[in-house]
Amino acid sequence: MKFFKTPRFFKWIFPKRLWGFSMNENVVYLTFDDGPTEELTTWILDLLKEKEVKATFFCVGANAKKFPALMKRTINDGHAIGNHTMYHDKGTKISKKEYLESVHEARKLIDSDLFRPPYGRLPMTHAKVIAKEFQIVMWSWLSYDYDITIPIERILEKSSLINKGDVLVLHDNKKTVNRTKELLPALIDSLKERGFTFSTISV
């Protein structure tokens, strides 16, 4: 089963992680994972500038090192950045020591107190240490832009579940280029028609 909207029990189990915001204003938080990439991040930045939308980019350290100009432009365009480990590491696949080393290596390239675990996988032993240095940011609406079995039309239908304060996840990696280019403009326009504005995540 695909949960576009994050089930409430995750928020109860991990209350110190940021899943979304409680607010009266019609504000949502657009976020992108896994970049920057030449194939997609530049296009996204151009679109966001055209649409006058701000977002938060959770960057992989290796990509930040490879594309410093894209990192600089992301910041100069008024967007926020966050740490997504050095090599897009899955917390359940490597030791705590290796994982924390990856996070700290990425931090040398990504000046941010925001952290999002790749795949959303973060063992409690890792999280306890990371939470002392970062705000761990999860999400309350997942686009599934990376899942080719889900039509873009279906994703747009499920965007009706988005409420004020929600943190939305899309991706700016090589795998999602065509789907993101189809989805993102339509998603932004749909949310604007519903009266939403967009903001960056900060701590």
- Mark whether 33 is an active-site residue: yes
Q: Active site residue: 89, 126, 171, 172, which one? A: 171
Residue 168 lies in a domain: yes
Residue 106 lies in a domain: yes
Specify whether the CB–CB gap between 186 and 158 falls below 8 A.
Answer: no
Residue 17 lies in a domain: no
Residue 166 lies in a domain: yes
At residue 184, the pLDDT reads: 98
Residue 14 lies in a domain: no
Residue 68 lies in a domain: yes
Q: Write the Ramachandran bin of 101: left for phi over 0, alpha for psi from -120 to 50, otherwise beta.
A: alpha
User: φ, ψ for residue 52 (rounded to 5)?
Assistant: 60, 50
Residue 122 structural domain: 26-198
At residue 203, the pLDDT reads: 79
Q: Is 0.75 surpassed by the pTM of this model?
A: yes
At residue 162, the pLDDT reads: 98
Residue 12 lies in a domain: no
Q: Active site residue: 33, 89, 166, 172, which one? A: 33
3-class DSSP assignment, residue 123: coil
pLDDT profile of the chain (203 residues), mean per 10: 92 95 94 97 98 98 98 98 98 96 98 97 96 98 97 98 98 96 98 98 90
Residue 6 lies in a domain: no
Q: Annotate 38-106 with DSSP letters as a single string.
A: TTTHHHHHHHHHHHT---EEEE-HHHHHH-HHHHHHHHHTT-EEEE--SS---TTTS-HHHHHHHHHHH
CATH code (residue 48) = 3.20.20.370
**Domain total of the chain:** 1
